[in-house]
Structure 1
Amino acid sequence: MERRNFLRLTVTGAAATALGGAAWDQALAAGKFVVTGPYGALGTADANGIALPSGFTSRVIARTGQTVASSSYTWHDAPDGGACFVDGSGWIYVSNSEIGATGGAGSVTFDSAGNITGARRILSNTDRNCAGGATPWGTWLSGEEVATGYVWETDPWGVNAAVVRPAMGRFTHEACAADPDHGYVYLTEDVTDSGFYRFKPTSWGDLSAGTLEVMVGDTALTNGAVSWAVVPEPDGSPTATRYQVAGTKRFNGGEGCYYAAGTCWFTTKGDNRVWAYDATTSRVSLAYDPTRLRQSPLSGVDNVTRSEGGDLFVAEDGGNMEICLITPEGMVSPFVRISGQSSSEICGPAFSPDGTRLYFSSQRGTTGSSSGGITYEVKGPFRA
């Protein structure tokens, strides 16, 4: 079991920390600090406008409005949440399209050497598909970020038709994270007084039926035990799901969500926090809280993923267009910085199955428009 409360270091200058509770005050009073992340400082921006640590390289794999290599698929507008899936000796990267009414998702296929071998549409004509999550059985859950939004279960290969999953609730969906250890799928909600949900399928691997629950606890709680209560009407009618259960713990704008090793990490953009939910003990804590820092490199927290080495990679919606890394020891530092795209946001970070490549998108690219999206790959010596 991994450490989940990240109680180690403090911050000055280019790096920050992720501490919780009284440890914040103790560490700040002691004047401790860190100066760089585990990969060292960022270098100058490359030809793609991407600044990376030494030893890492970037490439563009797709641009909105342009045909993806080795395919006839025109890459979609506003690329957003994403995930990778094993495909024989290669892999697939799936990406949502956060466009109203004509959104959906597409995917790109790679061979074992990382060459693009195809691309396709896997979901069409849905509404503002923002984030989502991968399932252990090899499907992509794509959430609609509208008040009556659904989760759609899609086939990354585009062979099987996408299926809507009403039992997972109708609300302003953001991310999903499957927990095979306890049999739940966690879900975030992108509103300022959101709930944090979990869905228990009647049969694991089949999302057509099950029970939707919402976290219950003191909204001010940042470190302690929580409980769960059944949402009586998952369809959100006549009362929105987040208002159906007394004592629902409120979060300020749920965003990214990722499960691994007994913990579900999720972000809340309104207060720029990263949370950790211990699924075994049913406790929440803060993995990152900038209000207790002198200076922080991470702002506008959004999508989150995790490397094989246990590092969290948190993408920024705005900020200075960085993906920042949070180590298991609690150190936070920039890993990627995109230059010349201040009107965009970074979306969809996901690692290839072998852990050597990180994919992500700049939703609006250099133009600041949904028609200017760019999807990237970063390759290098990620920690195992």
Structure 2
Amino acid sequence: MERRTFLRGTVIGTSTAAFGGSLWRGAAVAAPAQPGTGPYGALGAADANGIELPGGFTSRVIARSGQTVPGTSYSWHSAPDGGACYADGSGWIYVSNSELPLIGGASAVKFNASGTVTGAYRILNGTNSNCAGGATPWQTWLSCEEVGRGYVYETDPWGVKAAVRRPAMGRFKHEAAACDPERQVIYLTEDETDGCFYRFRPNTWGDLSSGTLEVLVGDTAATSGAVSWAVVPDPDGSPVTRGQVAGAKRFNGGEGCHYAGGVCYFTTKGDNRVWAYDAAASTIDLAYDDSLVPGGAAPLTGVDNVTVASSRDMFVAEDGGNMEICIITPEGTVSPFLRINGQSGSEITGPAFSPDGRRLYFSSQRGTSGNTLGGGITYEVTGPFRG
């Protein structure tokens, strides 16, 4: 998503209670996360790549937009955005969207067991502003178009099968997707100032060709409490999808989302919040709100893409702020995990862990140049991530 051009208001609360680890098991949130000492300690001096990391962690550049991916003959796409990792035998694949208008698409990098790049290739072409997306349990990548009446495309991370447009998942300004295998639904965020939160219920789990699109219904002003779902009558976006259901709960700029342990976490950029939808209880709560940090000392601003590690730590990338990926622990503390220096004209996108949880991949969409065309850099961070 393009860099923020607004400033947040004054602090509106002084709660200092942390939410409990039970949140990660699907229970309600006691209170939004507050600043604290992270599990990996303070950030060290910037490394050769300009990245500040905790002790024991190292970074490397995997690819640069417009340049050949080292070890391959493939030129990496511009404006890298949402991403995910897939197991590939003893190695893995990292998939990344391209948020370029009218070009869009997605690419993949393949790694062997030692982490050496062994290939790179295109998996989606001819789409429009592919922002975030999400992985499915059946090992496909859902690439989302962030344009009015945008589509979701189901793609093959191995690049063997042709990508398929999935119109049944609705046409709107798509941002991210997260699969809930327990309820057999897919949650979807919408990047509009009065956007909605959706779920798609396939007629057959694993087949996205048909199904029912639903929208979350509830009090827009409420930050916690019970919510429900209502069917969207015309998911083709005519009339406008988010305007079809009276009482639909509104969110200020939906961004990343991730499902883990009975909870779908999603972010909203307009109010710098991380939400937690408890799928079993059908309730919603705040996991983080920068305006509830006392003294205006919020470590996490410009909330964007999000992923959750096997440790249940949540990693939230910033679009704006000071170019950090921040960590929110199950104990309810929020702190910087890494910081990129010298790239204030960019945003961090696509955080995703390798299948073994030892490597974190992400991109700086516009890099040091601040240019959408040719400025992107995709990184890997390796270190003692807790399990």
**Aligned partners of 1:313 and 1:323 also within 8 Å:** yes
Q: Which residue of 1 aligns with 2:45?
A: 44
Q: Which residue of 2 aligns with 1:325?
A: 327
Residue aligned with 1:291, SS: helix
Correspondent of 1:340 among 339, 342, 349: 342
Q: Which residue of 1 aligns with 2:376?
A: 373
* Pairs within 5 Å for 1:86-97: 86-97=87-98
Distance 1:212 1:35 in 2: 39
Residue aligned with 1:372, SS: coil
Q: Which residue of 2 aligns with 1:7?
A: 19
Deviation at 1:8, TM superposition (A): 5.5
Deviation at 1:69, TM superposition (A): 2.1
**Aligned partners of 1:255 and 1:269 also within 8 Å:** yes
Change (3 A) 1:60 1:213: same
Deviation at 1:199, TM superposition (A): 0.2
Distance 1:289 1:244 in 2: 29
Distance 2:312 2:20 in 1: 15
Deviations 1:224-253 (A, max 9, x none): 11000000000011x111100000000000
Distance 2:35 2:108 in 1: 39
Distance 2:289 2:140 in 1: 33
Distance 1:120 1:381 in 2: 30
Q: Which residue of 2 aligns with 1:119?
A: 120
Deviations 1:276-322 (A, max 9, x none): 00010100000001111121110000000011100000000011000
Deviations 1:107-140 (A, max 9, x none): 0000111110000000011000000000000000
The letter for the 1-side match of 2:379 is Y
The letter for the 2-side match of 1:274 is V
Deviation at 1:223, TM superposition (A): 1.1
Deviation at 1:36, TM superposition (A): 2.1
**Aligned partners of 1:97 and 1:103 also within 8 Å:** yes
Distance 2:172 2:159 in 1: 26
Q: Which residue of 2 aligns with 1:134?
A: 135
List runs of 5+ in structure 1 lacking aligned partners: 10-18, 28-32
Q: Which residue of 2 aligns with 1:382?
A: 385
Distance 1:110 1:233 in 2: 42
**Aligned partners of 2:36 and 2:333 also within 8 Å:** no
**Aligned partners of 2:20 and 2:29 also within 8 Å:** no
Q: Is 1:266 aligned to 2:266, yes or no? A: yes
The letter for the 1-side match of 2:275 is W
Distance 1:259 1:34 in 2: 23
Deviation at 1:35, TM superposition (A): 4.6
The letter for the 2-side match of 1:305 is T
Deviation at 1:221, TM superposition (A): 1.3
**Aligned partners of 1:232 and 1:244 also within 8 Å:** yes
**Aligned partners of 2:64 and 2:378 also within 8 Å:** yes
Distance 1:140 1:256 in 2: 15
Give the share of equivalent positions with the same residue, in percent.
71
**Aligned partners of 1:216 and 1:226 also within 8 Å:** yes
Q: Which residue of 1 aligns with 2:58?
A: 57
Q: Is 1:301 aligned to 2:303, yes or no? A: yes
Q: Which residue of 2 aligns with 1:241?
A: 241
**Aligned partners of 2:35 and 2:293 also within 8 Å:** no
Q: Which runs of 4+ in 1 moved over 6 A?
A: none
**Aligned partners of 1:105 and 1:124 also within 8 Å:** yes
The letter for the 1-side match of 2:347 is E
Q: Which residue of 2 aligns with 1:198?
A: 199
List runs of 5+ in structure 2 lacking aligned partners: 1-16, 22-27
Change (3 A) 1:262 1:80: same
